[in-house]
Amino acid sequence: MKILEILPVGGLGNRLLSLASCRLLARLQQWRLCMLWTPAEYCPCVLEDLWAPGSGPMEIETLEAYPPGSVCMLPFLYSQSLPLLLELMEKHPLVSVRGQQLFHPAPGSSLSFREDFKQEFLSWVVSPYLASQIPSLPAHTVGIHIRRQDHIRSIQYSPLILFLRVMKKELAHNPDTYFFISTDDPTIWPLLTRHIPEQRLLRHPKGWLGRDSLAGMQAGFLDLITLSRCCRIYGAKYSSFCKFAAQYGDKPLHRIHSTRDPGCWHKASSLIDPWISWSATRGWRPARNETAIRRFKSFLALLYTRYLLSPTYQLGFWHRAAPINPTS
């Protein structure tokens, strides 16, 4: 039997999505699925810390020894690389892949498991210790996932003001709406309470404990499962955390996405490139200073991300430019 070995990498959401995808793929192709789970800086936990014994992810075995013959390594497994994986599996007894996101065959492919994730997640049972800590939610609770910290793209394209607009629209439509807030930035909560009645905001008592400890990972996992039990989820762009919550709970996911910001690197380039072109016409040679130029662009991008994209600045700037209208 052919063996597919998955090496989950990245954060918790990335790893869990890749595991679910590989389980479905291996079942469809009748491959033996093995896993090498390595705790890392952004995910310092093992599956036993989160899931109940015998549940879906716990059924994946660990390969004790590699079979004789050639072993092939595929750097990352995406939807686009599935044809290559099928080709490699025909030639090698074992293919080892790194997985960091959900994937599924493209529409029209001979493979098909796009609709099977709901059935797959029925076997994923939270550990009893953590299940007892999941809070019960009011009837109409909307999940809000605001990703910050090191996720620059989520900060860029999902500003806080857009979350506030969505929340105010939800309240205008149904005043009995509650919001479960999941975020990795402790400064978000006081900013939300300035614009949304605090009695309508819910969060886990443990709050944000970081991602560098087991306690922090378990607190984040509780947020993940609680999000999956909301009636719908509004999540930051590019975040796999809310994507897994929506898949796990079979709930609609609405990405909060602003198209007004082209990105901090592009902003830095738009400031520097005209000056570089002007200098080149006067004898300066940019090619000799390429490293210095890139470092300066990175410095400007960092300033833009850390300060101009901070929640406090966004609220102040956007409120002056375009006040929130709850009925709009």
pLDDT in tens, 129-183: 999 999 999 999 999 999 987 777 787 778 888 899 999 999 999 999 999 999 9
Average pLDDT over residues 20-34: 91
Pick the range with the lowest mean pLDDT from 70-74, 75-79, 83-87, 272-276. 272-276
46: tokens are 């093992």
Tokens for 143, please give them. 């999940």
188-223: b (≥16 Cβ within 10 Å) or e: bbebbeebbeeebbbbbeeebbebeeeebbbbbbbb
What is the model's pTM?
0.77
Fold of 132-256: Rossmann fold (3.40.50)
pLDDT in tens, 221-274: 999 999 999 999 999 988 899 999 999 999 999 998 875 544 554 555 666 667
Range(s) within the chain of domains with CATH label 3.40.50.11350 = 132-256
